Chains A and B, each alone.
Chain A
Amino acid sequence: MNAWFTKQRRLIDFTLASLLRRKGRNLGLLAVYALLVFVLASAMLYAHALRREAAIILEGAPEVVLQRLVAGRHDLIPPGHLERIGRVRGVQEMRGRLWGYYYDPVVKANYTFLVPPDNGIAKGTLVVGPALARERGMSENTGISFRSYSGELFSFVVADVLPQASELASADLVLINEEDFRAFFAYPAGHYTDIALSVANPAEVRNIAIKLSKQLPDSRPILREEMQRTYASLFDWREGIMLALLSASILAFAILAWEKASGLSADEKREIGILKAIGWETGDVIKMKLWEGGLISLTAFLLGFVGAYLHVFKFGAPLFAPVLKGWAVLYPRFDLVPVIDGLQVATLFFFTVFPYMAAVLVPIWRAAVTDPDAVMRS
């Protein structure tokens, strides 16, 4: 065991000395390799953490949201709809929801106005989201005026600002009293934006949605399961888009690594020839080159992954922010709760470390089994 260890150590010493002889080239390869792992791991960690946050937020989403469609477009729920739903068996609770969008020309941003289900906001006051408060410089007891779509000016007092920790879900929210909401948007009495339903038996949600669409043919039920799937596919898609954008650089690296690993330079061939001539066995030469590939790829993987973790969870993923921001003025500032999927890390390890080591092996084996004299002369 001790002899084996000593031999491997000497092989590593020799490998490192050989790598250091071509310092610039190998350090360059290591840097590009680590950068590639860094970008791939950043995309992976970021998308996974966002997917998890979305899952947490959507756990409490309404089981079914029922919209009304007119000519294929979302329309208000008229009076009488709630009563008709009440007759569908299995519906445990239902309530009309009031929410809408408001474009604020002052900061050129869209807000989401929402009446909380318990209507717990006092008349004339608002509770605002943290991004909105930041953008408009609002805090508790600040007064604010909005010009409604009818041209009338409405003044409110900010009763509270939602906690910064909830910004991912509440950046642009404005919680408002029902009476204020109806007056501000000139909402017809008895009308709602949509209906939220809860179902007694979770296994029956889909059947109830089918019953609802039969009883109210102009309605469109959206299940919580569908909302969760929308977000899961949204983040899969985003991760895919990032990877697609990166595919050119991945390909470039693959060509570089393949060229470096598979095509032996004349120097390397001569080195192998000399080693064989002074008595090294084929197995030793292969082991030495395996150590070389292993050391480079393992160092690059560890460097890239640690860098990606710091980038995403400690520095707020500044490289991805422009991709995320789109054209929105109000963009949530959030610190993602770190979460690492072991399977994803293992997959990344497998697809970045093993191909390189495999690419190293074939040409070395070919050179190592050739006659030393022929190798040195070629």
Chain B
Amino acid sequence: MRPSTGAAAILVTLALAFLACFGDAHLSRERRADEVVAMRVMAAQLGLTDLALFTEARYTRHPSQADLNSAFQDHALALEHFPSGSLIPPRHERLVHKTETPD
């Protein structure tokens, strides 16, 4: 077999696998549409405001409900002590400019 034929076979296989990712994503979305709807309905019924990704502290469990200065909320000189805090940004300045009231 010529090297170019082998290379073409590898590239075509990889390209098909690449396209299959898109196909699989589409099919999975269709297959799990009911699950997504059920989660949306449950979240709306319970009035949930946040994802349950980080449950260790109140400002990481509900970042959308936390104060703007949540890293320092425990006491005046408190430093951030949960690793998740470094993955959650302080709420953006854009919000401050849009919000009429101080937080």
Contacts and interface: CB of A to CB of B under 8 A. Distances in A.
Interface string B31-47: 01001101111111111
Nearest to B86: A241
Interface in A178-217: 194, 196, 209-210, 213
B14 A171 contact: no
Contact of B52 (A129, A241, A329): A129
Interface string B17-42: 11001101100110010011011111
Contacts of A173: 46, 52
Nearest to B24: A338
A65 B49 contact: yes
A306 B21 contact: yes
Nearest to A162: B42
A229 interface: yes
B78 interface: no
Contacts of A170: 42, 48, 52
A166 interface: yes
Nearest to A62: B47
B56 to A, nearest CB: 4
A226 interface: yes
A61 B48 contact: yes
Contacts of A237: 87-89
Contacts of B60: 326, 328
B49 A332 contact: no
Prevailing SS type, chain B contact patch: helix
B21 A340 contact: yes
A56 B34 CA distance: 13
Interface residues of A, number: 84
A248 B17 CA distance: 30
Interface string B58-80: 10111111010000010000000
B51 A13 contact: no
Nearest to A209: B100
Contacts of B65: 65, 67, 74, 194, 222
Contacts of A169: 39, 42-43, 48, 51-52
A220 to B, nearest CB: 6
B24 to A, nearest CB: 7
B19 to A, nearest CB: 10
Interface stretch (A110-118, A151-159, A253-261, A275-283): A110-118
A213 B101 contact: yes
B55 A328 contact: yes
Contacts of B100: 209-210, 213
Given A117-B46, A340-B22, A101 B61 contact: yes
Contact of A337 (B22, B29, B45, B99): B29
A171 B55 contact: yes
A155 B84 CA distance: 33
Interface in A44-95: 53-54, 56-62, 65, 67, 72-74
A337 B18 CA distance: 18
Interface of B: 2-4, 6-7, 10-11, 14-15, 17-18, 21-22, 24-25, 28-29, 32, 35-36, 38-58, 60-65, 67, 73, 82-84, 86-89, 91-92, 94-95, 99-101, 103
17 contacts: A16-B4, A54-B51, A57-B39, A60-B45, A62-B49, A101-B58, A110-B56, A116-B45, A168-B53, A175-B46, A210-B100, A231-B64, A302-B15, A326-B83, A328-B60, A332-B53, A338-B24
Please provide the 7 A-B residue pairs with the shortest distance between their CB atoms, ordered closest to farther: A60-B44, A326-B84, A338-B25, A302-B14, A16-B3, A227-B64, A171-B52
Given A165-B38, A168-B52, A234-B87, 6 more contacts: A58-B49, A171-B52, A213-B101, A326-B84, A328-B60, A340-B25
